[in-house]
């Protein structure tokens, strides 16, 4: 399998949506899609995950994923299958792509070279999401809502009654 992007696997809609993407919803296998910060580069989306970065469950070891991008109005415009390639630190692809992705990383402390070195030392995954088939768009999108029930989280606490300094009289 080659690491080059096959232009015939993409469409103008996917290309245009990727150019404007800063966040993508990425689903791996049967797991729920998660919102991930991404960088469009070379006809693909690049995602960094791991220690000190965002969490992308299963993405680093996956071969395929489903990517959903939204438009300026906030609604989904396209969902497409992606071929997932993890770039290895020290490889030619890493050496050319990692500095470009790091340069777009907001709120990063230190120079770009230090960030790339930290990603390599900490075992962070730099993954390329390349289009790999026809997208779901336009008439192929479902007519019904795809909203799911919120997932449980350990940070949810029961709401306490509000504190009152004085007694409230009822009329």
What mean pLDDT, rounded, does the chain reach? 86
| CATH code for the domain of 43 | 2.30.110.10
| 1 pLDDT tier (thresholds 50, 70, 90) | very low
CA 56, CA 129: separation in Å to the nearest integer? 13
- Assign 38 to helix, strand or coil: coil
pLDDT digits (tens, 9 = 90+) for 74-126: 788 889 999 999 999 999 999 999 999 999 988 888 899 999 999 999 999 99
Domain membership of residue 116 as a residue range: 12-136
**Cα angle 156, 159, 163; round to 5:** 140
Nearest to 33 by CA among 61, 56, 54, 53: 56
Say if 159 falls within a structural domain.
no
> How many domains does the chain contain in total?
1
Say if 164 falls within a structural domain.
no
């Amino acid at each position: 399998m080659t690491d080059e992007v096959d232009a015939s696997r993409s469409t103008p809609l996917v290309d245009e949506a990727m150019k404007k993407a800063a966040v993508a919803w990425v689903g791996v296998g049967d797991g729920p899609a998660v919102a991930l910060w991404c960088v469009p580069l070379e006809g693909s989306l690049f995602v960094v995950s791991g220690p000190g970065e965002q969490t992308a469950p299963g993405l680093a070891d996956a071969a395929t994923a489903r990517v959903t991008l939204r438009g300026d109005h906030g609604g989904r415009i396209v969902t497409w299958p992606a071929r997932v390639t993890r770039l290895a630190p020290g490889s030619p692809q890493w050496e050319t792509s990692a500095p470009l992705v790091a340069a777009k990383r907001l709120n990063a402390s230190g120079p770009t070279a230090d960030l790339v070195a930290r990603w390599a030392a900490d075992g962070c995954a730099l993954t390329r999401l390349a289009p790999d088939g026809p997208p779901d768009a336009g008439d192929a999108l479902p007519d019904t809502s795809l909203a799911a029930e919120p997932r449980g989280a350990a940070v949810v606490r029961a709401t306490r009654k509000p504190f009152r300094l004085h007694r409230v009289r009822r009329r």
